[in-house]
Amino acid sequence: MTEPTNQPDLTRPENWLQPGKLNVQLVYILYLVSFLIGISGLVGLVLAYLNRGKAGGWIESHYTYAIRTFWIGLLYGLVSVVLTFVFVGVLLALGTVVWVVVRCVIGLQKANAGEPIAKPETWWV
């Protein structure tokens, strides 16, 4: 008799809502869609928090990266709003949008390739 392993069941297709590659990609896509539909970013954050710690391996770095992308992006956005009164905030807001998009694209590319994020706790890209 063989011992059970913790390997994923490859006979069953992966679900978007279960921890894994497709779920991480969904989180990044929800972040990008949040520029059009604001609430989708919160949905992506909740999915990332719910599935962090359940997937293991390279996917964990993506959940950490995605969660930090949301919170740091929110911080940069709030600073931009405050600095809008001195007219620097508009440029900072544009930079924040570019920063979030770049991080999401990098995350999507690495998730698609099955690679971890090298420095998931970075404040840069």
Length of the chain: 125
pLDDT in tens, 48-70: 999 999 988 999 999 999 999 99
pLDDT in tens, 68-90: 999 999 999 999 999 998 889 99
Whole-model pTM above 0.95?
A: no
Q: Is the pLDDT of residue 12 over 70?
A: no
Q: Retrieve residue 69's tokens.
A: 């992308």
